[in-house]
Homo-oligomer: A and B are copies of this chain.
């Protein structure tokens, strides 16, 4: 066969290549969370394909919650700053069925070095600088969630306890606004554990109570892990809600 120059990803459908190119633009911050991306016709022209092919690419990115389509307006980069996506990753829900509105209190924000565990999950080297945050979240005046959070220091330089405590909204909106980091997806591992004295104190429960342990790794564009979260939930009056398909 000939040695003609070939596209880099050659044996995938066109719309997959378009998807990859849109994804690259997102990753490169060419379009920021909340922004409108170019219209389907413009993108079709840019990539020299038909509108239908761009449509299919955008459709798939929209079902993955990376883009949001709004008829008559345009297609937008998904953001945790908007109502519908505000608490996209929060599965905790009061047993009563009411809406959960958590009040934040950050307890600590300190520099540290990653151990083997955090290094592995964040794809760092053990000893690399990281930031460690503690917080408690309350509902109806009662502490419900205790969380330890680890962030790679490189991406989140200069993060302070004051900045966190004066931020009004959800944390993932904070990351977007202050550190240009949008969370795309997350993986959670859930266990039941007993409250040790420290946890019992934070969550105001008896030592030896049952708590839900939720270990999350959150990823930004390009499957890059950028946050670890180890939460403990008091599930006496709320539960973790999950839908299976």
Contacts and interface: CB of A to CB of B under 8 A. Distances in A.
Interface of A: 63-65, 88-89, 91, 185-194, 208-213, 216, 233, 235, 239-245
Contacts of A191: 210, 212, 235, 239-240
A194 to B, nearest CB: 5
Contact of A243 (B187, B212, B239): B187
B212 A194 contact: no
Q: Which of A64, A192, A235 has the largest number of chain B CB atoms within 10 A?
A: A192
A240 B88 contact: no
Contact of A187 (B186, B212, B216, B241): B241
Contact of A194 (B64, B89, B210, B244): B210
A205 to B, nearest CB: 11
Q: Is the interface of A mostly helix, strand, loop or mixed?
A: strand
A67 to B, nearest CB: 13
Nearest to A88: B244
Contacts of A65: 245
Q: Which of A189, A190, A209 has the largest number of chain B CB atoms within 10 A?
A: A190
A63 B245 CA distance: 9
A244 B192 contact: no
B89 A244 contact: yes
Nearest to A241: B189
B193 A241 contact: no
A165 to B, nearest CB: 26
A55 to B, nearest CB: 11
B63 A192 contact: no
B186 A244 contact: yes
Contacts of A189: 239-242
Nearest to A243: B187
13 contacts: A89-B244, A91-B242, A91-B244, A186-B244, A187-B243, A190-B190, A190-B240, A191-B210, A191-B212, A192-B213, A193-B210, A194-B208, A210-B210
A136 B245 CA distance: 24
A139 to B, nearest CB: 15
A210 B192 contact: yes
